Amino acid sequence: MTEKSHDSGSMKPVDLSDEQVYWDLGESKSYGQYLQLDKILSAQQPNSYEHDEMLFIVIHQASELWMKLCLHELTGALDHIRRDDLGPSFKMLSRVARIQAQLTQSWDVLATMTPAEYSAFRNQLGRASGFQSYQYRMLEFIIGNKNADMVEVHKRDPQAYEALTRTLRSPSLYDESLRLLSRRGFEIPQEYLDRDWSQPYQPSKQVTAAWLAVYHSIDDHWDLYELAEKLVDLDMKFQLWRFSHMKTVERIIGYKRGTGGTGGVSYLAKALELRFFPELWTVRTSM
Mean pLDDT in residue range 61-81? 98
The answer to whether the annotation marks 238 as part of a ligand binding site is no
Average pLDDT over residues 83-110: 96
Nearest of 279, 96, 141 to residue 151 by alpha carbon: 141
Please tell me whether residue 226 adopts helix, strand or coil conformation. helix
User: For residues 41 and 32, what is the distance between their CA atoms, to the nearest angstrom?
Assistant: 10
Q: With 70 as the cut, is the pLDDT of residue 5 above it?
A: no
Mean pLDDT check: name the lowest of 6-20, 117-131, 181-195, 219-233: 6-20
Whether 122 has a binding-site annotation, put simply, is: yes
Beta bridge partners of 165: none
> Is residue 57 pLDDT above 60, yes or no?
yes
9 pLDDT above the threshold of 70 = no
56 is in an annotated binding site: yes
Q: In this structure, how many other beta carbons lie within 10 angstroms of the beta carbon of residue 46? A: 15
Determine which of 85-94, 100-109, 198-207, 261-270 has the lowest per-residue pLDDT on average: 261-270
Q: Would you say 59 is a known binding-site residue?
A: yes
Q: Is 243 annotated as a binding residue?
A: no
Query: How distant is the alpha carbon of residue 64 from its chain centre?
Result: 9
Whether 93 has a pLDDT exceeding 70, the answer reads yes
Residue 57 is assigned to a ligand binding site:
yes
Tens digits of residue pLDDT in 158-179: 999 999 999 999 999 999 999 9
127 marked as part of a ligand binding site: no
Question: CA-to-CA distance for 76 and 60, rounded, in angstroms?
Answer: 24
Q: Does the annotation list 259 as a binding residue? A: yes
Cβ atoms of residues 173 and 78 within 8 Å: yes
Strand partners of residue 12: 3
99 assigned binding-site residue: no
Rounded average pLDDT over 210-235: 97
**Cα–Cα distance for residue pair 188/177, rounded to 1 Å:** 11
- The residue extents of the domains of the chain are 51-285
Q: Measured between alpha carbons, how far is residue 276 from residues 1, 71, 139, 205, 271 in Å?
A: 48, 16, 11, 16, 11
Confidence of residue 12 (pLDDT cuts 50, 70, 90): confident
Cα dihedral 165, 167, 168, 170 sign: positive
pTM here is: 0.90
Cα 199 to Cα 122: distance, rounded to the nearest angstrom: 35
Domain 51-285 has CATH 1.20.58.480: yes
